[in-house]
Amino acid sequence: MRPSSCDTFVALPPSTEGQRIIFGKNSDRPCDEVQEVVYFPATDYAAGEKVECTYIEIEQVAHTYAVVLSRPAWLWGAEMGANEHQVCIGNEAVWGRQSADGEEALLGMDLVRLGLERADTAENAVTVITELLEKYGQGGSCMEDESSFTYHNSFLISDRKEAWLLETSGKYWAAERVEGGYRNISNQYGITTKIDKEHPEMRAYAQSKGWWDGKTEFNFATVYSFMTTARIEASGSRYCEGKKLLEKSNGHITAETMMDILRDKDSGINMEGMFMTTGSMVSVIPTDPDLPGVHYFTATPDPERSVFKPFIFVKNLHPLKETSSPSYGLDDPVKKKPRFQSKPDRKHELFVKHELVAAIIESHKDRGRKITEGIRYCSL
């Protein structure tokens, strides 16, 4: 499977304006898939309780943090989101030497949600995700379809002071701390020789497979990927284009900068076609713990034609009704085996309204231009 979707970005001081961390992600998914934005409050659980993820049930923890998630409406996990401690996580599909065609387990999107619900810092999220990965594994179709679209996962995780890049291959993983500047990830391994945490058997496994001789400097991307780092840096890739767009605004990166990057179609970051950008997120996290983080979500496809709507963690939050899809419970085709025998209507209220506006933009040039200009103004 050729990498074909998603880009995630983070910018930290001194690359940003003010003492802020800017996080952004486009979720590129099948063009007919609905992405919803949902809020779950902090919750306490009794000993022995379980949590049902997309495909498997796992042990619940005593306390989960409040989270806001942007997720494909058919599954439990999330493509991206944030929690009350201003931890932000986005994931990417990656493929490499190791097969991703395993049994149903935790999806990378489940791990995003679990990391947000259980970790109060970015580094702790790395620990949460890797421990769950080693215990339960990753696997299962990542599309609401019988085609069994599977992949390994990389994660970009940030909080108020730093970011972490976590890349996985089966149960093996490597993590790199990012303490300043900017970083972006796409659908290729990006950790090279700077490895700050790793699976204790990751190098030995690679050596046993003949991927590494045990003598040369260990480069995670080269060893575990189909492609060398030269291919990752190749001109024309979305990764390279995203890096250029960040560099262009280095020292002055703002929420508006990140939204512009996510809306960029020439680079392929704002994707069109059978796989398209179905949801986008930009978070602005002040390094000052007394200031709130602001999380912007589209909850609709194509950020160029979507308003980024702000969310702030405050007390007594109400459910996000207009961006929540219908629930089908145990009757959902995802829950029945064999899975995916039909597709119910998952469109939420905002999605339906967006479809009407998108049609107007497409068919009425002048009116469409005014609407698009208004969308840009409303987003900030």
> Which active-site residues does the annotation give?
6
**Half-sphere exposure of 150 toward its Cβ, with a 13 Å CA cutoff?**
18
Is the backbone peptide bond immediately before 333 cis, with ω within 30 degrees of 0? no
Amino acid at 365: K
The encoded tokens of residue 171 equal 């149960």
- Tell me if 347 sits within 8 A of 34, measured CB to CB: yes
- Tell me if 76 sits within 8 A of 113, measured CB to CB: yes
The span from the CA of 52 to the CA of 45, in Å, is 14
Pick from 37, 5, 3: which is nearest to 270 by CA? 5
Q: CA torsion sign, 120 to 17 to 307 to 182?
A: negative
- The single residue listed with the structure tokens 């990753």 is 138
Q: DSSP 3-state assignment of 285?
A: strand
Residues whose CB is less than 8 angstroms from the CB of residue 248 and which lie 6 or more positions away in sequence, other chains included:
none
